[in-house]
Amino acid sequence: MELKPKFGLDQLLFGMKQKDVESLFGKADSVFKDEDDNQILLYNALKARLTFYQEEDFRLGYIIISNPEIRLFNQKVIGQDLIEVKSFLEKKGFTLSEEEVFDSVTNYFNEENWIILQAEFGQVIKVEMGAIIKNQDEFDWKFKA
């Protein structure tokens, strides 16, 4: 599966509704609401957490994934050496400029593409990717229903 910055993950596009996602992946293993009343779908086999924003008519706005088969620019990232992944991404012009440390976990953020690589013990363990905001207050939805 290929992460597509600003767009989504393979056929999964930012802006999809839950029914659109379920037509691709079937029913989620778990569904719940978070503290902001957003709809969260968990897919165990995919190792993915999908967030549908309540304030945006429940459109897919955020993806968290730890599936070892996902690729970014056709390279696997989960379970890979952080330094090698960062070096590879920098050669692609994809800079991870901001860094946040939480105990043994460090997040590396690329604001332009709204992607976070999370690393622990020198390996990438998770990728978070969100829909891009345009015009300061409107999402750039890629799925046109």
pLDDT of residue 98: 74
Q: Taking the model in full, what pTM does it have?
A: 0.94
pLDDT digits (tens, 9 = 90+) for 43-100: 999 999 999 999 999 999 999 999 999 999 999 999 999 999 999 999 988 888 778 9
d(CA 127, CA 141): 20
- Percentage, residues of the chain above pLDDT 70: 100
pLDDT of residue 72: 94
32-36, 49-53, 58-62, 130-134, range with the lowest pLDDT: 130-134
